[in-house]
Amino acid sequence: MDRRIIFLILVIIIIGVAIFALREKGQVRPAPEPTPIAQIPLSPSPMATALPIAPAITPTPTPPPTVQPVVAIEVPQQDPLRLLEKAEALVKRGEKEEAWQVYSQAVQRLEGEQAARTKRIVTQLASQILFSKEPSSFVETYVVEPGDKLYTIAKPYKIPHELIIKLNGLKSNLIHPGDRLRVVQGPFDATVDTRNLTLSVYYRGRFVKEYPVGLGEQGVLPEGKYPVKSKLINPAWTHPSNPMSADDPNNPLGERWIGFYSEYGIHGTIEPESIGKRVSLGCVRMHEKDVEEVFDLLVREHSTITVKDGI
């Protein structure tokens, strides 16, 4: 046999033996045919079992916030009876000025006899605080300087000089340098209640005193807030149909005049029986002693007169 053929046969045998040996050792294995993706079974992992995958959510647009209409909240007024209890407790503790403020709030909410009784209490309390010799945070001391007059002292305090006379018990307008005078920082104001026919004086919103008055027919004196325009002692009656001089005993204006609206004003009367009635031409009539007190409290331009149909 030809040597070449024999050599070729040996080579084939050697290669075959080598391939067989390698297969047995697992070093050369034929690559498995790829399995189509659709045939691969999906086995869920432990994490996927514990935490299921949430389905996809399409985001929903957030609607604009609804604006609620603003509703006014009514704040209830304090019970006047509770205010009275509080004021009485303050008086017992000696806190008179604080009690005066609380009493004044209660007065405007009370009616009938209870209101009248409370007003008498407040009037006495206000008198002690403002017009007595007792110490008060509302009362200051003014030391008279050379050249001072009562009216020059009173002007910056917005009070009439007559009130300084009253506060200090002076017998006349005569004062001397070095005199120590009690003064209060004004002004005082007044309110005319056309329903109840009364005039009430207030000091910085605090009730001072109430007086009965006579008025004209309903609606003659319009509601409103008016500054004090004029003040006269022993005024003349200038009514065009029947004018009278200041000293005429038939002069219907009495001894005081406080003008505040058009030709109308607060004045005294020679007919005290008309107080509490509607018989005037539109002015506010008062008893002589009452109008003199009010005259000494109100000051031109700074004090106001409020006309109201009830408080």
Task: Say whether 283 is catalytic.
Answer: yes
Least reliable range by pLDDT among 49-58, 138-147, 158-167: 49-58
DSSP string, 37-78: GGGSPPPPPHHHHHSPPPPP-PPPPPPPPP-PPP-PPP-PPP
d(CA 134, CA 184): 13
User: Looking at per-residue confidence, does 239 or 54 come out higher?
Assistant: 239
The whole-number average pLDDT for the span 84-97 is: 95
The gap from C-alpha 262 to its chain's centroid, in whole angstroms, comes to: 32
- What are the chain's domains? 78-137 (no CATH), 139-184 (3.10.350.10), 188-311 (2.40.440.10)
d(CA 264, CA 308): 15
Q: Which of 176, 283, 287, 302 is catalytic?
A: 283
Q: 12's torsion region: left (phi>0), alpha (psi -120 to 50) or beta?
A: alpha
Judge contact between 298 and 284, C-beta under 8 A.
no
Express each pLDDT in 1-42 by its tens digit: 566 777 777 767 787 766 666 665 554 444 444 444 334 343
Q: Which of 161, 176, 239, 267 is catalytic?
A: 267
From 256, 261, 255, select the one nearest 304 (Cα to Cα). 261
pTM, to two decimals: 0.73
At residue 158, the pLDDT reads: 98
